[in-house]
Amino acid sequence: MKVCSARPGSEVIRLWCEQCAVGRSVPGRWAAVNRGGGAGSVHMCRSLFALCSVMKCVSVSVSVLLPLLLLLLCYRPTDGVQLTDLRLNSSAVVSVDVSAVIRRVEQRFLSVTIDASLAADEKFMFLLSSPKIRTLARALTPAFLRFGGTRQDFMVFTPQRPQQNSGSTAEQSCDKLELPSWLEDRLKKEWTQQQVNLMREDLQRKYRRMKFTEYTVDLLHSFTNCSGMDLIFGLNALLRTADNTWNSSNARSLLQYCESRQYRMAWELGNEPNSYEKKAGIRVDGYQLGQDFTRLRKMMSESKFYHEAGLYGPDVGQPRDHRTDILEGFLQSGADAVDACTWHHYYVNGRDTSLEDFLDPEVLDTLALKTKEVLEKVKLLSPGKPVWLGETSSAYGGGAVGLSDTFVAGFMWLDKLGLAARLGLDVVMRQVFVGSGSYHLVDENLDPLPDYWLSVLYKRLVGPEVLKIESFSSFARSKRVRLYLHCANKKSYRSGAVTLMSMNLSGKPARVSVPALVSSSSTVEAFVLQSDQPGEEGLYSRSVTLNGDVLKMVDDRTLPDLRGRRLPPAEHLQLPAYSLAFFVVTDARAAGCL
């Protein structure tokens, strides 16, 4: 009989032959084959395609061919970590080494931002006094809170009252500074129209000068002080003199006010200087920018209160066409002025992206390419200088409406956290915690979105110590199942525990076998995040479930219990379709985590 004839027992072979033939003959169809089983299925298809091609003209018994097929389908290596697709039974070996830490990130690795656009109309800064928003922020500590963005370079400090009567102080009770519920509701309604106005400015690239008073600074400091975050305030770098050097007089006035109030904070200067010409018609090269930072550092050193405060920059945009001109010039003249070198990264343009981009491993991997370019430049010109992602999210231009604020955004976010730590970035600042755009963690009604809950789980479960996990097989190269390994957070688990961060970008479930860590005697806690709706449509949802339960606040001051589910004894871990998961092996006794 022919191999692909419809005789009993040959149906499986016929389907495999057809799928592989289509995948091989039609450009782009290998990706379709991959969705079920990754690149390992491509390798298997190639073998089967060759087998089918030979058999087309040869009469062979199914009883002869089936053992060969089963051997291909059922072969499993015995060491390392196995990733097994439940539909195609493809497997791959992933090596783990928990004997030593390969990298250690900052305790405030996952940090957040508030965009300066919130102060475009100063009354909206009072939203930061909401008990609900403070409760949500407190769950993300320890963390930096960076106040900055495009509009920081159009902000001018304009004091309104004498310093001796300047309102709130660092010592005031947080309870006394809470926003009344009636005012919160009013501001939330008015914020809807304000976002439209801000979006219009962004599209037209016409930014007006923004005056801000002591209230903005008071409210920011109160928010970070009462939530436990560490404030980084972005200064305006587009205040220039006739010879195009930075005019520091307004910044000096602001520092003097903050010092009079004893506000502990760190500083930045400017936002994405590579775009100054487009948004303001002013060109500032990297070398001049470095000199501006040196001037700011000198001004800080003359302050009794801020002489040891942090200074970070230059907050350049990501490298384009492999060019890092501004960063290079800055490091030549200003590297010694900053405590960390900051840059920004976004995967896609929010105005023309798609659901497929958010699930595309090749899109996710662009972070590695950009990061390596920045790290190489910093290592060459300022060895040992920490490098931070000073602003980052899924899509630039305010995010992608209906994507950046939904469940699917979690794949970009968790992968960025895992990959950034492994590559050597010390801090990752998520744009934004709350405010303008659609890439926020907390929406316009001050309700937490899926990426917020993902961030809280990361904070509770993942420690700063990065462990080695490495894939070798063709299946792993599909990268639709992505894994990162850290020591578990020692505030939540005893020493020696590890946390496996896992994500399945495929519409089919996968099975992860970890013989080096997980056996029938291991204790594993699972925290599996899925959309509250099934299938691909669920990726657009703004709600998320943890182990099957929808996550939402109990009330404005209380988060739900985020409990893991203890898994029954097993040799493998289940990873559902389109899921994000943290598996904590509490009794791993990892030497690198003791």
Each of the 594 residues of the chain gets a pLDDT tens digit; together they read: 333 333 333 333 443 344 343 333 333 333 333 333 333 333 344 444 444 443 333 333 434 344 444 434 433 333 344 454 445 443 445 679 999 999 999 999 999 999 999 999 999 999 999 999 999 999 999 999 999 999 999 999 999 977 554 444 555 678 777 899 999 999 999 999 999 999 988 888 889 999 999 999 999 999 999 999 999 999 999 999 999 999 999 999 999 999 999 999 999 999 999 999 999 999 999 999 999 999 999 999 999 999 999 999 999 999 887 678 999 999 999 999 999 999 999 999 999 999 999 999 999 999 999 999 999 999 999 999 999 999 999 999 999 999 999 999 999 999 999 999 999 999 999 999 999 899 999 999 999 999 999 999 999 999 999 999 976 544 555 789 999 999 999 999 999 999 999 999 999 998 888 888 888 888 999 999 999 999 999 999 999 999 999 999 999 999 999 999 999 988 888 899 999 999 999 999 999 999
DSSP 449-500: PHHHHHHHHHHHHEEEEEEEEEE-STTGGG-SEEEEEEEEPTTTS-TT-EEE
Q: Show the CA angle centred on residue 212, arms to residues 211 and 217, nearest 5°.
A: 160
Our answer to whether residue 11 is catalytic in this structure is no
Q: Catalytic: which of 184, 272, 444, 465?
A: 272
d(C-alpha 573, C-alpha 75), whole Å: 19
Is residue 537 part of the annotated active site? The answer reads no
480 backbone dihedrals φ, ψ, rounded to 5°: -85, -20
Predicted TM-score (pTM) of this structure: 0.85
Q: Are 144 and 429 within 8 A, CB to CB?
A: yes
DSSP 246-302: B--HHHHHHHHHHHHTT---EEEE-S-GGGHHHHHS----HHHHHHHHHHHHHHHHT
pLDDT tens digit sequence for 283-338:
999 999 999 999 999 999 999 999 999 999 999 999 887 678 999 999 999 999 99
Report cis status (omega within 30 of 0) of the bond before 142. yes
* The one catalytic residue among 214, 391, 465, 525: 391
Give the SS3 label for residue 315.
strand
End-to-end CA distance of the chain: 62
Residue 169 amino acid letter: T
Q: Tens digit of pLDDT for each residue in 368-423?
A: 999 999 999 999 999 999 999 999 999 999 999 999 999 999 999 999 999 999 99
pLDDT at 204: 85
Is 388:312 a contact under the CB 8 Å cutoff?
A: yes
What are phi and psi for residue 293, nearest 5 degrees? -65, -40
Structure letter (DSSP) for residue 78: -
